[in-house]
Chains A and B, each alone.
Chain A
Amino acid sequence: MSDLRQLLQRCLAGEEEGAREFVARFQQPVFGLCYRMLGHFQDAEDVTQDALLRALRHLSRWDQSRPFRPWLMAIAANRCRTALDRRRRRPHPTAETVDTAVAPPEPTGDLGEELQLALESVRDELRCCFVLFYQDGMSCAEISEAMNVPEGTVKTWLHRTRRQLAERLRQRGIVPETTHELPGLSSTR
């Protein structure tokens, strides 16, 4: 942590090498969240730049008695939310132009892609919570700090998201219909 604190002090002092190290250190987790939230590489890249720039610009507002990562991820999550809001406000294409895009894509068989597809159907805050927990490895307490909700709410959101994702995967045929046998018992993990 002291290493991080020194790095942040260097950024605050306007040291270019410190800023470079800062971006190199945090760009991947920030991008990971943005990419999973937005589902689009270019959009995620833009929002990542924006979030990191904002963090650098407003570094003096970070409370050093609190963990840094939730603060940074809160900025990224809010940038994603703004980008999603902006995307939703855009005029929708007419029915004639999207008649082929209305139907959901065929199951690809790729579990990762199917999970991402399912994830895009859940609410923003649930998705954010899920990504922070399962991709960034943040604890429920850290997510609670980042999203400004009680820790119990984070757990509830995670359970709810898992259930919704499972339901979605089941609808897509990724999870087999329940039988009277015990298929899970023979699988090796």
Chain B
Amino acid sequence: MNCQDFLQHVEDELLSHPEAAVASLRAHLADCDQTSCREFLENTLAIEEAVRVWRDQTPQVDVTGTVLTRWKTEAAVPDVREPVRPSESPSLHRATPDPTPPPASRAWPVVLAVALLMLTLPLLVPGRSGKNDRAGTGPVTAVEPSVPSPTPSPNVADAEPHTAVVRDRSIAYYNAAQHATRMVTDAVVLVLPDDDPSSQFEDPTHVPEWVGHWGEQIEPLKTQFDSAVRSLMNVLPEPMPAT
């Protein structure tokens, strides 16, 4: 057996019988003056000795009280993210990696975004917004030709402000649509798990981090919603008393 094969054999033996491996290595070196063999022995002895010291240096810990307190707290408040299915509890069964969280918890950001969008819609409907809309019921009707009148009417006199209102409202609609699109996009991004696909381990209890930190994750949505409402309120005209 040449040195390379021998070292390969010793390397395998080191994992099962390290002392025997070192002994056979010493015996080999009695008749071998190869630098690689000597270096292998030196490395092996250093690692074995370092591991022995290192293993004894692990500090002790006691987390019993904390874990039990948290466990009891969780037991008192059922985890809504993972509803218990009667058929699965309490018997033991094969551990199956759960790469996706339950559908209910995955879908809620989208539901929330859609709800926010629907809340925004009434603000876009002039008839229900409480604003004074003398031009009609919205931007489309606002550009319809008015019936000619023999005498000048107040509507004609207000032609310039009316155009400004239509323009401002168009900008508002555009901004609102833009914000709404951004909200939905962010919600979809939140739904996608950010786990590293190249992970080497399989955690049977893995739950994506965003589920636990939804408050932080939803913050951009709230900001954008506030921004959309603010821009709407800024450009829409104030309600005027009926004459």
Check: A38 CB closer than 8 A to any chain B CB: no
Contact A66 B50 (CB under 8 A): no
| Cβ-neighbour of B58 out of A135, A163, A187 (below 8 A) | A135
Q: Is B64 a contact of A27 with CB atoms below 8 Å? A: yes
B200 A147 Cβ-Cβ under 8 A:
yes
Flag if A20 contacts B200 (CB, 8 Å). no
Contacts of A79 in B (CB 8 A): 203
Q: Contact check: which of A16, A61, A166, A182 meets B46 at CB < 8 Å? A: A166
When the two chains form their complex, are residues B92 and A62 in contact, meaning their CB atoms are under 8 A apart? Answer: yes
- Please encode chain B, from 186 to 208, with 1 for each CB lying within 8 Å of some chain A CB and 0 for all others: 00000000001001111111100
Select from chain B the residue with minimum beta-carbon distance to A31.
B61
List CB contacts (< 8 Å) of A16-58 with chain B.
16, 19-20, 23-24, 27-28, 31-32, 35-36, 41, 44-45, 48-49, 52-58
A48 touches B61 (CB 8 A): yes
Q: Which chain A residue has the least Cβ–Cβ distance from B22? A: A189
Asked if A171 CB lies within 8 Å of chain B CBs, one says: no
> What's the Cα separation between A13 and B95 when bound, in Å?
18
Evaluate contact between A134 and B51: CB separation under 8 angstroms: yes
Main secondary structure on chain A at its contact with chain B? helix
Whether A184 touches B75, Cβ cut-off 8 Å, given contacts A48-B61, A61-B205, A74-B201, is: no
> A-contacting residues of B (Cβ < 8 Å)?
11-12, 14-15, 19, 22, 26, 29-30, 33, 35, 38-39, 41-51, 53-64, 66-68, 70-72, 74-75, 79, 88-96, 98, 196, 199-206, 209
User: What is the distance, in angstroms, from B236's C-beta to the closest C-beta of chain A?
Assistant: 41
Is A183 close to B, CB under 8 A?
Answer: yes
Q: Assess whether A60 is in contact with B205, with CB atoms less than 8 Å apart.
A: no
Question: Which of A13, A31, A112 gathers most chain B CB within 10 Å?
Answer: A112
Q: What separation, in Å, do the CA atoms of A165 and B181 have in the docked complex?
A: 52
CA distance A107 to B33 in the complex (A): 30
Contacts of A187 in B (CB 8 A): 45
